[in-house]
Structure 1
Amino acid sequence: MSKSSGWDQRLIVSSDGKGLVGHAGAVLLRKCADRTGLTRGLNQVLPRGNGPGWWDRGTVLISLAVVIVLGATSMSDIALLAHQGLVFGGRPSEATVRRTLAGLDEKTLKRIGTARAKVRAHVWALLARRPQGFPWLSVAGKLLTGWVVIDLDATLITAHSDKQGAAATFKKGYGFHPLGAWCANTSECLAVGAHVIRFWR
């Protein structure tokens, strides 16, 4: 049985102080992924299964993204979603998260990239339909209509190293400073240096 959708249909807003949850902002992130079609899109391109304990792999990835926002630093921190049980219901286990990540080969990552691109195009189309339109940037009083601006910058990730010859970063700390790319129009992260992915595995 799929556990990929329907959780938000049970939500209500009340003022009686019952059924409260912490980190309520996580609900908005998860609902955004579901409403924009990202969860469904990922579920369609990732391997499917069946059985009473099966979790759709796209849903697992979205759940992992939510716990990272909540402060997770390892796969075992998927347990943070236990605090959201009244909202999301059950959560994937650490073993399910590990199996999901282990199945992400190059071919699968390309399919995920394609799914994300489709969702981004859909969201940008929705932004363009707003009364104020798509968020084009203004520079020196000139509106750059039709220009999508990519902001490239380094992001510091602290990681102490006892290796011989290790040198401090330009801000006198130890770690990595991978390049990241952000869309200045929408403030969304587009890509981060590949060595960061290796570092966090």
Structure 2
Amino acid sequence: MRLIVRRVRPSRRQMKNLTAFEIKTGWRYSITATNIRHMWGISGSQHAQWLDVLHRSHVVVEDRVRCDKARGLRNLPSQSWTVNRGWMLAANLAADVEAWTRLLGLHDVDGLADAEPDTLRYKLLHLPARLVRHARRRVLKIPDTWPWRTAFTTC
């Protein structure tokens, strides 16, 4: 087992979660425990920096799990396995649709390409628009003053 310790200056957001030792020294420490010694076929994989990057890239997975819990996986609706399985399937489908929407439609929009689910819900899905019929067509009327109009129409 290897322990990799990383020392960085804490950001303003992290200041409230520091330990007494970290406050005293002025550094924030993060410790990674790993049993990876060397990955065959990958040069440099025995170095501590490479292993640190490998473990820090896993934060994306943990962030997705946190967003999925915010989307509805935290509280399953039933005691029944079948109902909960359907609930999880619907929540995972919603996560996939949201990810593809970000990837294909919002990749160049600042603030929405990597937004949280609540932010996307507020800015894109709560659309202040009217669906009207004119000349046998349906037209979506979006107010010109809505700040995310171009992001929605582009997406």
- TM score, norm. by length of structure 2: 0.24
| Larger RCO (alpha carbons 8 Å, 6+ apart) | 1
Question: Which has a greater percent of strand?
Answer: 2
Larger Rg: 2
